[in-house]
Structure 1
Amino acid sequence: MLQEYLSSLGFSQKESTIYLVLAEVGVQPASVIARRSNLDRVTAYKHLKKLADRGLVKVYSRGGVQCFGIESFDALESYIGERAQNLTDLRKRFPIIANVLKSLREGEDTIPRLQIFEGTSGIKALFRDMLHAVKQENVKQVRLLSSNTFEEWLSDDAMQRIVGGFFKDLKAQSVSVELFEVTGGLVPERLRKLSGKDISAPMTLVTHGSTNIFLIGHTVYLACYKGTQIGLKMTQAELSQIFHFLFDLAGRIKD
């Protein structure tokens, strides 16, 4: 219990051991503390100095020999108070730090970040990833284009549950779905916008379409279900802006 408590305060395992030895034996030279802690003298001395620098251990001189001990456990309480105050200050500064970190990421955003999902388990992971992206970017609308220019994909029960769960989660989070469908024979011939009010509408598009494009914030997802099931995630601000522009154009097309 004591080791775990000290560890939660930032003590290393060796520091915790040394501190508990000092609590038991009182003021002692480094050689005695090292022996009781099962450490070599150099290692014990190094950690004793660190504890002393943090005000947790006091350095004494007895007969010309340097010794270490715990003067009062009040020092540990003061140390806890200082750490709590530091954490409070760090929390207040976090919004500024977060903005700086985001600006660093923007410098790398010129190169799209790609991730591939393969097989049924991969497609399942892709839908989980899309839900995470919705929450992370606080997206209020998912844009979906489904193509069934090839033969319809007949999903199994497991995939139906995956897709159904995805759209139910979107509905529970009050996230709307903008739906577009491309139809035709061997090549795309018609594009139309559908109503997404009914939760079955997007689910039907996904499970019947052979290829889907999902646009979620700054991320584009492609999912192909015919033959080998495979998905692709592409994250880049400029790329997503192009897709948003294309979706905007599609929304102006009349049947």
Structure 2
Amino acid sequence: MIEQAFEILGVTPRETQLYQTLLKLGPASIRDIAEHSGINRGTAYESLKQLQTKGIVSYFPKGKRRFFMAENPDILLNLAEEKRNRLNKTIDNLKNTIIPNLHQQQPDYHQANVRYYEGDDGIEWVLRDILNVVSQQDHKEYCVFSSKPIRPFLYRPFPNYTKQRVKLGINVKVIALGDGGEEAELSERKWIKTEGSVDASYIAVYPPKCAIISLASNNFPSAVVLESKDIAKAQQIIFDTLWKML
């Protein structure tokens, strides 16, 4: 736990060991520090200089030698608060300036792209992407076309997907192709009755993206994610129109 906290503050395990050694020794020479820490003098000296620049260790001359001493452990909380303040400022800059400017630098053809995913890991990525994109929108809702054959395989890699969706306050409208489908919280469902069997398919519309999931041979899942505001809007219009008719 101590090493993890120090690591977050930018202090290496070796530097952490030296700092703890100094706390126990009090002011000490590089020779004594190396002896008690088990770190050779050259390496210990370089690490102590790094700790000095971080404000965790200081030194004073005594004769011809330098004696190092550990700063009060309370300094660590000050470092953490400074790091948090810098991180908060960075987050604000990313949201308000950096990311918008980077988006403006993208040429138009980057606004529409297609990505392919395969296997359970790929399907889980798509499902998490749906939650991530929709949870950041003001109107937390997406829509789905879904057929019965794909349902046993869809949430196999992400069995608590529905719980996560509900926890995030995300609504979903589902047009089910054929029979089946379970009612769930924050979910509305309508059916299109079909004659005979239907193929395994799942289409999620979550602007600016659309995801299409299907099954290949041996029930191997694959997905295509298309990112395009225009196409997603067109698919949304189709869904909304059909929803009103059912």
> TM-score band, normalised by the shorter chain?
0.5 to 0.7
Shift of the 127–61 alpha-carbon distance from structure 1 to 2, 3 Å rule, reads: closer
Q: Indicate whether 1:177 and 2:173 are aligned.
A: yes
Q: How does 1:122-201 map to 2 (within 5 A)?
A: 123=123, 126-137=126-137, 140-145=140-145, 154=149, 158-159=152-153, 173=169, 175-177=171-173, 179=175, 199-201=188-190
Shift of the 240–20 alpha-carbon distance from structure 1 to 2, 3 Å rule, reads: same
TM-score with structure 1 length normalisation? 0.65
Contact 1:177/1:202 (8 A) holds in 2: no
Q: How does 1:87-126 map to 2 (within 5 A)?
A: 87-99=84-96, 100-101=98-99, 103-104=101-102, 107=106, 109-110=110-111, 112-118=113-119, 123=123, 126=126
1:61-104 deviations in whole A, cap 9, x for unaligned? 2221222123x62xx32452243144135325522223423543
Counterpart position of 2:183:
none
**Of 71, 76, 81, the match for 1:84:** 81
Superposed displacement of residue 14, structure 1: 1.1
Counterpart position of 1:233:
224
Superposed displacement of residue 218, structure 1: 1.9
Any stretches of 5+ residues in structure 1 without a counterpart? 183-196
Aligned Cα RMSD in Å?
A: 4.3
Counterpart position of 1:219:
209
Any stretches of 5+ residues in structure 2 without a counterpart? 179-185
Contact 2:174/2:189 (8 A) holds in 1: no
Counterpart position of 2:22:
22
- Matched to 1:52, the amino acid is Q
1:176-228 deviations in whole A, cap 9, x for unaligned? 4264979xxxxxxxxxxxxxx984536989x9554332211222111224754
SS at match of 1:220: strand
- Matched to 2:173, the amino acid is V
Shift of the 226–34 alpha-carbon distance from structure 1 to 2, 3 Å rule, reads: closer
Contact 2:173/2:188 (8 A) holds in 1: no
The structure whose Rg is larger is 1
Shift of the 242–55 alpha-carbon distance from structure 1 to 2, 3 Å rule, reads: closer
- Matched to 2:67, the amino acid is C
1:164-185 deviations in whole A, cap 9, x for unaligned? 9767876773514264979xxx
Counterpart position of 1:248:
237
Shift of the 199–164 alpha-carbon distance from structure 1 to 2, 3 Å rule, reads: farther
